[in-house]
Amino acid sequence: MKITVFTSNQPRHISLIESLASISDEVFAIQECNTIFPGRVNDFFQKSEVMQEYFGNVITAERKVFGDLKFTSKNVSQLVIKNGDLNMMDLTTLSPALHSDYYVVFGSSYIKGSLIDFLIEKKAINIHMGVSPFYRGSSCNFWALFDGNIEYIGATIHRLSRGLDSGDMLFHALPKAESTDPFVLGMNAVRSAHNSLIEYIKTGRINELTPLKQNKSQEIRYTRNRDFTDEVARHYLKNTPSKAEIKSKLEKRVLQKFLNPFIG
């Protein structure tokens, strides 16, 4: 089995590459790179003291759940490019990666043009870190926490579409209900998404799920990167939920709200 993944370069993205490599003969990883020091370096997020504090917590939680940056396995072929360059590339450059059994998108830039047409035809799978259709756009799990909607922390596994996070849904992946730090909770949601996708591809169940269209009337927030400002981050850092509150709200989740929920 061959799998192609369009992703990024943080430990959580490398962890997904490694997990896919553990169940396939060959993985093609197209990685769009951002700084590994968000908050300290101007990049996708701005540089500031409050951003450095916020992302310091994110990095610590990510390392706790996914470990440090590392080299990938021998059965992984990597193509490393700058974030945003993907849509400028010709498909012939990507040709070796366009003959796979599965196509997965996780943390890439917004894909357009002939590549999105190809991936839609191949029924590519997108991991959206946020529970659609309730939270769509950028940093969705942060905004669910910001809103106090801890029960909506998770991921949506859906078919890739031309619209952002708008494809037909296959299932939701949710973190376990436990007492944990809010930053670790977000990374646990990522881990649940990875674990579920690996299990469903390995067993073939991913092909048995019936896609469901999203009901946009249920949307709570649609956010963009520019919405995440110093002021917002500062407010959140002063009002982070307690571990006990997180556990309580997760235990009270109404699972009927979610599609084929995977918890773990």
Q: Find out whether 154 and 165 touch, Cβ atoms under 8 Å.
A: no
**Averaged pLDDT for residues 106-119:** 94
Report percent pLDDT > 90 for the chain: 88
Beta-sheet pairing, 262-263 with 169-174: parallel
Global pTM value: 0.94
Give tens-digit pLDDT for 90-108: 899 999 999 999 999 999 9
Give tens-digit pLDDT for 42-76: 666 677 899 999 999 999 999 999 999 999 999 99
Specify the residue for token string 């490599």: 21
233 has a pLDDT exceeding 70: yes
* 3-state secondary structure (DSSP) of residue 110: coil
Q: Find out whether 225 and 138 touch, Cβ atoms under 8 Å.
A: yes
At residue 67's C-alpha, the angle toward residues 158 and 263, to 5°, is: 40
Which pLDDT belongs to residue 39?
Answer: 60
Q: Domains of the chain, with CATH numbers?
A: 2-263 (3.40.50.170)
84 has a pLDDT exceeding 90: no
Residues in Cβ contact with 176 at an 8 Å cutoff, skipping those fewer than 6 apart? 188, 192, 250, 263, 264
Report percent pLDDT > 70 for the chain: 97
d(CA 173, CA 3): 21
